C-alpha cells in the first residue's frame, strides 16, 4: 500500500481557510459566534423530529467552515486523554453580556489520533453526536471544525462533573434518585436505538455528567456504532458492564445497552456492580452465568427490572423484546415518572451542583499543563480516499486495515481465489474497500454498471458464473432520481425476503452483500436473504496469510463500454492494471501532495485504474464527488478539497464549463488545479483551449486506450507542446509496442503519418474475453515472427509521426464514407464546437442513395442561443470544405452515452434514421 495520507479525518468536518481571511468569511465567523452565544443563553432541547434533521440544517451539530481555534479563549483544562484534551472555553473578543457563555471545547490532535489508530472512534463519535445534537440528555455537539493539525468539537459545558464522583461520595443513591436518573437514561437509549439505530456500547457512571440543573448528559461516544438492527462483533466496553453476547463474541446489537443499563441501576442502588472480581476473567465467568445477587433491602420492583434487563437470553431481555423501550418505561419501577415532563426538563434533577458562576470548575480535577512539544501533523498522515457525497474519508492505512477486514469477512461467506465477485456500486468508499479486499484474496472483481437493468445483471452474472454480488440498495444515476434495487433483486432471487438465498436465474450465486446507500428510503432489513456490507466488514484488520497469488492472475473482468457493439468481458491481471496505473501517475507527475478529483466511475477503467491505481501508487489523494457524475458536485469537490487534478471525458468537461459560464458555480477555488486527464474519446481542440483558460489545466494530459489494454497505451506528458496535446494522444507508455496496419491487410505495416488501424502489444494486453474464444481471436492476432506475441486490434484509425506521437482520427466503424471519400467525424466536430452557439456536437454517417453515406450532425446549443441548420452548413463550408458540410442537422439536448461518458454513435445512427423518417434534419 502507499503511505498513509490524510487531509480530512472527521465526517462532515469542513476545512477552515488558511491564513487568508476574506471579508465574507470574517462576517460569517462573527455571525456564527453570535449564534453560538445566543444558543448558549437558551440551551433549549429539540423535539425528536427536529433532532433527526440533517445536522447542517439544525441549530446545533453542524460542521463549520468558518470557526477557528482563535475564536475561543481557553480557560482551564476539564479533562485529558491519550489523544484529546477538553477545555473550558469562552468566545474570544466577547461582549460583556456574553462573559457567562461557556462551552467545553474538545481538542483532538490528528497525529495522536492516527498513531493510536483511533480515527474510526473519533469519526463515530462526531457522526453520532451530530445526528443526536439537541437531545435533552446527551451532550450537545454545538459545532465542529478543524485546522491543519487539529480537530475541534464544541460541546455544551456540564459544570456538575461525573455522576461517578457523586455516587462514590454518597456510596449509593436512594431509590427516587436512581429512578429519576435511570429514567433519563431510558429516554436516551430509546432515541439512540429506535430513531438512530445506534448502539452506545459503553454505558457506565464515568460517562455520565451532571448539568447545572441536575440533569444527566451522556458523553464519550467513541464506541457508539450505527447498526440498525444488525449484529456487530467488536469487543468494547468496561469489563463489569459487558453483556454475555459480547464476551462470547456471538454477535451483538443494541441489546447490550439494556444489559449495561441493568448493571447501572444496580450500581446506583448498591454502590457497586453486581459482577466484580480483581481478575477480569472471573468477572466474565460471572456475567456469562448471569446470576445476580440482590441485597435484601432492595425493593422487589428494582430487583424485577434489573433481572429483566440482566438476562442472558437476549430474546427475553427487557428493552429488546417486542415493544422495545416502552417495555422498560411501563415497568412498575417507573410508575411515578411522567415521561413527557421529564423529556422537556420541567423539573430540576435530584442532584443540583453548587456553583458560584457559569464557569465554575470545582467539580473537575486539576490537570498538568499541555506539553509544549507535539509531533507535527505531516502530509503522510492525511486522508487519501475521500468520498465527498458520503462525507467519509480514509487514510491508506485505514484502507489497508478495512480491506483486510472485508477480505476476511468475504472468506467467511465463501469467497475464494478465482471466484468472480460482481460489484454494482457507484463511486463510494465501499467500492474502494471492496476493490483491495478482492485483490488480496485473489478473487476476481467484476464491476457492473449500476444502471444495468435486471436482464443485463443476470446476463453478466450468468456469463461469468458469479459467486457473490455486492450491490447498493439504490442506484444513483446522473440527472435521475434514485432507483430502488429491490425489484431487481427480487427478479434475481424471488425469495430475497426469506432466510436463504436461491437463484434460478443465476445458479452460481451464493450470496448477496448489500450496501445500504438509500438514506432510509429502502428497508434493507426486510431483505433477509442478503447480508449487510457492514457485517461482512466487521472483523480483524490484520493482514491476510499467503493466498498463493501470482502477478499474471486475472483479478479484474471489465465489461467493455459498448460504443459500437455489445459489451465483452475483458480479463485483466494484477500486473497489467497495477503497472498501467503507476505509469499513468508518472506521466501526470503525481506526488503525495496531489489531490485528484475523479468524477469518472469506478466500475470503468477510467475510475478504477487511471484514478484509483494511479493515485495509490503515488500516495496522492483521490476524491469521489458523487456516486454518479454530477458536474456541480465535481466543481464543488475541486473547490472544497483544493484539487490539483481533474479527470473527465469531453462531455463531462463541457457540462462543468457550462455551469461556470452561466454563473451557477462562481469562478473561485480553481487556482490549485494544474493537471488532469481527458480520455474516453477524442478531445476537440477548442475544448482543450477552454480547459486551459477557464480551469487552469495547463498540464492537462490526454490518455488513449481501451478496456482490453488495461487501459492506457498512449498518453501525453504534462510538458508536451500544447499542439501535441491538442492534435495527438501522446506517445506510447513504457514497455508497450504499437504499429499502424492496413485495414484490408493487417500483415502490412504502414509508414510514418500513414493512416490505418492501430495495433498494440505488451504487458498491458488482456488475457482473453471471458468465455468468448471467437471474439478473442478476432481482436487479438499473433505476431508474424513470434506466434507467442499477441497484438490487440484497437478498431481505431490512427497515424504515428516521426517523434512517436500517435494521432487518432476516429473509429474505423465511425468513418463516414461519402462517395468513396473518407470523412473523419472529429474534424467536423471540432469545427462545429468552435461556433459560439454550439455547446456539443457529434457527427455520424447516415445512408444516402447517391453517395452511400452523408454527414449528419447532432448539435446541442448553448442555453438561449439562436442557431439554425443553414447557419451550421455555412459555418462548416467556410471553415472546412463543401464535402464536409452536414446534409442533416438534428437539434438534441443530450446524447446516448456509455457509463464512462462516451457517445454511442451507433445509437445516434439509429436515431438519425428514425428522425429522417419523421421528416427532420433539414432545418
CB-CB contact of 101 with 90 (8 Å): yes
**pLDDT in the model for residue 379:** 56
CA distance linking residue 687 with residue 464, whole number of Å: 39
Lowest-confidence pick of 336-350, 820-834, 909-923: 820-834
Model pLDDT, residue 376: 61
Residue from 102, 122, 126 nearest 111 by CA? 122
Q: Which of 98, 202, 419, 796 is catalytic?
A: 202
Q: What span, in angstroms and rounded, lies between the C-alpha atoms of 439 and 554?
A: 10
pLDDT tens-digit readout, 647-705: 998 889 989 999 999 999 998 889 999 999 998 656 777 888 899 999 999 999 999 99
Whole-number Å distance between alpha carbons of 126 and 221: 8
Whole-number pLDDT of residue 899: 65
**Model pLDDT for residues 224-233, shown as the tens digit of each residue:** 988 877 788 7
Q: Topology of domain 815-917, per CATH?
A: GMP Synthetase; Chain A, domain 3 (3.30.300)
CATH number corresponding to 731-811: 2.30.38.10
**Is 220 marked active-site?**
yes
**Span 394-447, pLDDT tens digits:** 989 889 999 999 999 999 999 999 999 999 999 999 999 999 999 999 999 999
Cell of 303: 430487583
**Cell numbers placing 253:** 446489537
Average pLDDT score over the chain: 90
Residue 613, CA distances (Å) to 216, 295, 297, 436 in order: 50, 64, 67, 10
Q: Is 168 a residue whose pLDDT tops 70?
A: yes
Q: Which of 90, 101, 204, 897 is catalytic?
A: 204
Burial class (CB in 10 A: 0-12, 13-18, 19+), 322: exposed
Q: Tell me the mean pLDDT in the region 501-517.
A: 96
What's the pLDDT at 23? 52
pLDDT at 682: 61
**What does the alpha-carbon distance between residue 635 and residue 567 come to, in Å, rounded to a whole number?**
31
Q: Which three cell numbers stand for residue 673?
A: 488545479
When pLDDT is averaged across residues 710-738 and rounded to a whole number, the result is: 94
Under 8 Å between Cβ of 170 and 274: no
Active site includes 238? yes
Would you list the DSSP string of 851-890? TEEEEEEEEEEPTT----HHHHHHHHHHHS-GGGS-SEEE
DSSP β-bridge partners for residue 475: 483
Q: Give the DSSP letter of residue 116.
A: T
Mean pLDDT of 882-886: 89
Strands (E), 638-762: 645-648, 675-678, 699-705, 712-715, 731-732, 736-741, 756-762
Rounded Cα–Cα distance for residues 295 and 315 (Å): 27
pLDDT at 13 over 50: no
Cβ count within 10 A of residue 464: 22
pLDDT in tens, 569-613: 999 999 999 999 999 999 999 999 899 999 999 999 999 999 999
Nine-digit cell string for 456: 443485463
Strand 816-818 to 780-782 pairing = unpaired
Q: Is 106 labelled a binding residue?
A: yes
Name which of 349, 353, 355, 344 is nearest 43 in CA terms.
Answer: 344
The number of beta carbons lying within 10 Å of the beta carbon of residue 477 is 16
pTM score: 0.67
Domain with CATH 3.30.300.30 in the chain: 815-917
Supply the pLDDT for residue 375.
62
CATH-assigned architecture of domain 23-156: 2-Layer Sandwich (3.30)
Nearest to 588 by CA among 698, 685, 507: 698
Cα dihedral: 522, 528, 529, 535 (round 10): 80
Q: What angle do CA 374, 376, 382 make, to 5 degrees?
A: 135
Residue 462 has pLDDT above 50, yes or no: yes
**Contact, 226 vs 196, CB < 8 A?**
yes
C-alpha cell at 724: 501535441
User: How far apart, in whole angstroms, are the C-alpha atoms of residue 59 and residue 48?
Assistant: 14
Q: Provide φ and ψ at 108, rounded to 5°.
A: -115, 125
Q: How confident is the model at residue 852 (pLDDT cuts 50, 70, 90)?
A: confident
Just give the CATH number of 163-343.
1.10.510.10
How far apart CA 352 and CA 354 sit, in angstroms, is 7
- Identify the three-state secondary structure at position 226: strand
Mean pLDDT of 94-103: 92
* Residue pair 760/713 in contact by the 8 Å Cβ criterion: yes
Alpha-carbon distances of 71 from 33, 109, 477, 825, rounded to whole Å? 8, 18, 42, 59
Q: Quick check: 16 pLDDT over 60?
A: no
Helix (H, G, I), strand (E, B) or coil at 23: helix
Sign of the C-alpha dihedral, residues 202, 206, 211, 214? positive
Percent of the chain at pLDDT exceeding 70: 95
Q: Which of 156, 211, 220, 720 is catalytic?
A: 220
Does 202 participate in catalysis according to the annotation? yes
Backbone angles phi, psi at 648, to 5 degrees: 175, 170
In sign, the C-alpha dihedral spanning 3, 9, 12, 13 is negative
- Of residues 565 and 543, more confidence is placed in 543
Q: What is the largest CA-CA distance in the chain?
A: 107
Sign of CA dihedral 12, 13, 17, 22: positive
Using the CB atoms, write b or e for 52-79: b if 16+ within 10 Å: eeebeebbbbbbbbbbbbebbeeeebbb
SS (H, E, C) 324-383: CCHHHHCCHHHCCCCHHHHHCCCCCCCCCCCCCCCCCCCCCCCCCCCCCCCCCCCHHHCC
Residue 900 is predicted with a pLDDT of: 64
Provide φ and ψ at 817, rounded to 5°. Answer: -105, 95
**Is 3.20.20.210 the CATH number for 395-549?**
no
Which secondary-structure segment (H or E) carries 800?
Answer: strand 790-800
Strands 595-597 and 645-648: parallel
- Catalytically annotated residue among 150, 234, 238, 718: 238
In the 8-state DSSP scheme, what is residue 670?
Answer: -
Query: What angle separates helix 300-309 from helix 255-270, to the nearest 10 degrees?
Result: 150
First to last CA, the chain: 58
Spatial CA neighbour of 395 closest among 88, 620, 163: 620
Please, where in the chain does CATH 3.40.50.980 lie?
395-549
User: Which pLDDT belongs to residue 110?
Assistant: 86
pLDDT of residue 557: 97
All CATH 1.10.510.10 domain ranges of the chain, comma separated, are 163-343
Q: What is the pLDDT of residue 306?
A: 97
Choice among 77, 139, 140, 207 that is catalytic: 207
Amino acid at each position: 500500500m502507499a503511505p498513509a495520507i490524510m487531509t480530512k479525518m472527521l465526517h462532515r468536518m469542513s476545512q477552515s481557510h488558511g491564513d487568508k481571511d476574506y471579508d465574507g468569511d470574517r462576517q460569517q465567523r462573527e455571525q456564527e459566534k453570535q449564534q453560538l452565544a445566543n444558543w448558549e443563553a437558551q440551551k433549549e432541547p429539540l423535539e425528536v423530529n427536529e433532532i433527526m434533521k440533517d445536522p447542517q440544517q439544525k441549530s446545533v451539530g453542524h460542521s463549520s467552515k468558518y470557526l477557528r481555534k482563535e475564536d475561543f479563549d481557553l480557560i482551564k483544562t476539564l479533562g485529558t486523554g491519550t489523544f484529546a484534551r477538553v477545555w473550558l472555553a469562552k468566545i474570544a473578543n466577547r461582549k460583556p453580556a456574553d462573559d457567562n457563555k461557556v462551552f467545553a471545547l474538545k481538542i483532538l490532535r490528528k497525529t495522536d489520533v492516527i498513531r493510536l489508530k483511533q480515527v474510526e472512534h473519533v469519526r463515530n463519535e462526531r457522526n453520532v453526536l451530530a445526528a443526536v445534537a439537541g437531545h435533552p440528555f446527551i451532550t450537545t455537539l454545538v459545532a465542529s471544525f478543524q485546522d491543519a493539525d487539529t480537530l475541534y468539537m464544541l460541546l455544551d459545558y456540564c459544570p456538575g462533573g461525573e455522576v461517578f464522583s457523586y455516587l462514590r461520595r454518597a456510596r449509593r443513591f436512594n431509590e427516587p434518585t436512581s429512578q429519576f436518573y435511570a429514567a433519563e437514561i431510558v429516554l436516551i437509549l430509546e432515541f439512540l436505538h429506535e430513531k438512530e439505530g445506534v448502539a452506545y456500547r459503553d454505558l457506565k457512571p464515568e460517562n455520565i455528567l451532571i448539568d447545572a440543573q441536575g440533569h444527566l448528559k451522556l458523553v464519550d461516544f467513541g464506541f457508539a456504532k450505527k447498526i440498525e438492527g444488525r449484529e456487530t462483533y467488536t469487543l468494547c466496553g468496561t469489563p463489569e458492564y459487558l453483556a454475555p453476547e459480547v464476551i462470547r463474541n456471538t454477535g451483538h446489537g443494541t441489546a447490550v445497552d439494556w444489559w449495561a443499563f441493568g448493571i447501572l441501576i444496580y450500581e446506583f442502588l448498591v454502590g457497586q456492580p453486581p459482577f466484580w472480581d480483581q481478575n477480569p476473567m472471573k468477572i466474565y465467568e460471572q456475567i456469562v452465568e448471569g446470576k445476580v445477587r440482590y441485597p435484601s433491602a432492595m425493593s422487589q420492583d428494582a430487583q424485577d427490572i434489573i433481572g429483566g434487563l440482566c438476562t442472558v437470553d437476549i430474546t427475553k431481555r427487557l428493552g429488546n423484546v417486542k415493544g422495545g423501550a416502552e417495555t422498560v418505561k411501563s415497568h412498575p419501577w417507573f410508575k411515578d415518572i411522567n415521561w413527557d415532563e421529564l423529556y422537556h426538563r420541567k423539573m430540576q434533577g435530584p442532584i443540583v451542583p453548587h456553583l458560584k458562576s457559569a464557569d465554575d470548575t470545582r467539580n473537575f480535577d486539576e490537570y498538568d499543563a499541555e506539553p509544549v512539544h507535539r509531533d507535527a501533523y505531516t502530509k503522510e498522515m492525511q486522508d487519501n480516499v475521500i468520498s465527498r457525497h458520503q462525507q467519509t474519508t480514509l487514510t491508506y492505512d485505514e484502507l489497508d486495515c478495512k480491506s483486510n477486514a472485508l477480505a476476511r469477512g468475504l472468506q467467511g461467506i465463501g469467497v475464494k481465489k478465482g471466484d468472480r465477485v460482481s460489484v454494482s456500486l457507484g463511486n463510494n468508499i465501499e467500492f474502494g474497500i471492496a476493490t483491495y479486499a478482492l485483490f488480496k484474496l485473489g478473487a476476481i472483481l467484476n464491476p457492473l454498471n449500476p444502471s444495468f437493468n435486471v436482464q443485463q445483471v443476470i446476463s453478466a452474472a450468468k456469463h461469468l458464473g458469479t459467486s457473490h454480488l455486492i450491490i447498493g440498495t439504490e442506484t444513483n444515476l446522473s440527472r435521475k432520481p434514485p432507483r430502488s434495487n429491490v425489484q431487481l433483486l427480487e427478479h434475481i432471487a424471488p425469495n430475497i425476503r426469506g432466510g436463504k438465498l436461491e437463484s434460478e436465474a443465476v445458479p452460481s450465486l451464493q450470496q448477496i452483500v448489500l450496501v445500504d446507500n438509500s438514506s432510509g428510503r429502502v428497508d434493507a432489513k426486510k431483505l433477509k436473504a442478503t447480508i449487510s456490507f457492514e457485517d461482512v466488514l466487521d472483523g480483524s484488520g490484520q493482514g491476510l496469510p499467503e493466498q498463493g497469488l501470482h502477478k499474471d492472475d486475472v483479478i479484474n473482468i471489465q465489461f467493455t463500454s459498448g460504443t459500437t457493439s455489445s459489451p465483452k468481458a475483458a480479463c485483466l491481471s494484477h500486473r497489467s492494471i497495477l503497472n498501467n496505473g503507476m505509469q499513468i501517475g508518472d506521466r501526470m507527475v503525481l506526488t503525495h501532495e496531489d489531490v485528484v478529483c475523479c468524477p469518472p466511475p469506478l466500475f470503468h477503467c477510467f475510475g478504477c485504474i487511471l484514478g484509483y491505481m494511479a493515485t495509490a501508487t503515488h500516495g496522492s489523494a483521490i476524491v469521489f464527488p458523487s456516486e454518479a457524475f454530477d458536474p456541480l458536485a465535481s466543481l464543488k469537490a475541486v473547490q472544497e478539497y483544493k484539487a490539483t487534478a481533474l479527470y473527465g471525458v469531453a462531455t463531462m468537461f463541457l457540462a462543468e464549463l457550462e455551469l461556470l459560464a452561466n454563473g451557477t458555480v462562481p469562478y473561485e477555488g480553481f487556482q490549485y488545479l494544474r493537471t488532469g486527464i481527458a480520455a474516453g474519446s477524442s478531445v476537440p481542440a477548442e475544448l482543450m483551449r477552454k480547459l486551459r483558460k477557464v480551469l487552469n489545466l495547463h498540464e492537462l494530459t490526454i490518455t488513449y486506450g481501451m478496456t482490453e489494454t488495461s487501459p492506457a497505451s498512449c498518453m501525453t506528458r504534462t510538458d508536451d507542446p500544447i499542439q501535441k496535446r491538442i492534435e495527438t494522444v501522446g506517445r506510447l507508455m513504457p514497455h508497450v509496442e504499437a504499429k499502424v496496419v492496413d485495414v484490408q491487410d493487417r500483415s502490412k505495416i504502414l509508414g510514418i503519418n500513414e493512416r490505418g488501424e492501430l495495433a498494440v502489444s505488451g504487458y498491458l494486453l488482456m488475457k482473453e474475453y471471458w468465455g468468448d474464444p471467437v471474439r478473442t481471436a478476432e481482436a487479438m492476432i499473433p505476431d508474424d515472427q513470434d506466434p507467442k506475441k499477441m497484438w490487440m486490434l484497437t478498431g481505431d484509425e490512427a497515424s504515428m509521426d516521426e517523434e512517436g506521437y500517435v494521432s487518432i482520427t476516429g473509429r474505423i466503424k465511425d468513418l463516414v464514407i461519402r462517395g468513396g471519400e473518407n470523412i473523419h467525424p472529429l474534424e467536423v466536430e471540432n469545427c462545429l464546437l468552435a461556433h459560439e452557439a454550439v455547446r456539443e456536437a457529434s457527427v455520424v454517417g447516415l445512408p444516402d442513395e447517391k453517395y452511400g453515406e452523408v454527414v449528419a450532425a447532432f448539435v446541442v446549443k448553448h442555453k438561449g442561443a439562436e442557431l439554425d441548420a443553414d447557419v451550421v452548413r455555412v459555418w462548416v463550408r467556410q471553415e472546412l470544405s463543401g464535402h464536409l458540410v452536414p446534409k442533416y442537422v438534428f437539434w438534441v439536448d443530450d446524447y446516448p452515452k456509455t457509463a464512462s461518458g462516451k457517445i454511442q454513435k451507433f445509437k445516434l445512427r439509429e436515431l438519425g434514421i428514425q428522425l429522417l423518417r419523421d421528416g427532420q434534419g433539414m432545418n
